[in-house]
Amino acid sequence: MSLHHDPLVGPVVVRDLGSARWWTYPLARHLATRETRALRRLAGVAGLPELRSTFRGTVVRSWIEGQPMQLAQPRDRGYFRDALRLLRQIHARDVVHNDLAKEPNWLVTADGRAGIVDFQLAHCARRRSALFRSLAHDDLRHLLKHKRTYLPDALTARERRILAKRSIVSQAWMATGKPLYLFVTRRLLRWSDREGAGDRQL
């Protein structure tokens, strides 16, 4: 992934699938397809990247100005209200993010609002199945874990109950799927999505 400045639209994030080795290209394309599909479905939602183009093995999306959560360390109730608003909008379009446990995927904008990036693992549902509801629950639970870190006194009794309930899907993913995903994307594809990292700059 690299950052570029388009003279017409400003900063953009470019993921070039050409950097993948030939034998990992199918997986790289699959992850890019998931991201592209999710961003198309979520078009127009404030706080999320806008898909600019998919051309010759590249995915280009807009840059969101802001600090990653681990640096901004939000301790304002308004931020977490906005983050919940944003998450509800994502789920209302039948999309789950699936990677919100990572603080770098949460941004804090200059005006204190929430942003979300990195939709490689996003799932676009055709219907609100039991799987969708379980994944959406885990999205919410991950947001509440961050709230517990930075603003624990603001957690409601209902939010504490949600935190205590980890889905079977989440347990299986953490035990098997996530280690494999990290090995493939970091070791084999050599992807390190810097969009929400501490060195966000052009």
Distance CA(174)–CA(113), nearest Å, equals 29
Domain of 21? 2-62
Does one domain contain both 89 and 6? Answer: no
Q: Give a yes or no: residue 41 inside a domain.
A: yes
Distance CA(49)–CA(52), nearest Å, equals 9
Domain's final residue, options 62, 82, 99: 62
Task: Please tell me the pTM assigned to this model.
Answer: 0.83
Amino acid at 152: P
Higher pLDDT, 135 or 27: 135
194 pLDDT above the threshold of 90: no
Residue indicated by tokens 């009794």: 157
Identify whether the C-beta of residue 83 lies closer than 8 Å to the C-beta of residue 114.
Answer: yes
Does one domain contain both 29 and 99? Answer: no
Q: Mean pLDDT, to the nearest integer, of 97-110?
A: 95
Residue range 138-179, pLDDT digits in tens = 999 999 999 999 999 999 999 999 998 876 666 655 556 666
Domain's final residue, options 14, 37, 62: 62
Q: Mean pLDDT, to the nearest integer, of 9-37?
A: 84
Q: What pLDDT score was predicted for residue 201? A: 45
Name, in order, each residue with C-beta under 8 angstroms of 119's C-beta and a sequence gap of 6 or more.
Answer: 34, 35, 38, 39, 42, 49, 97
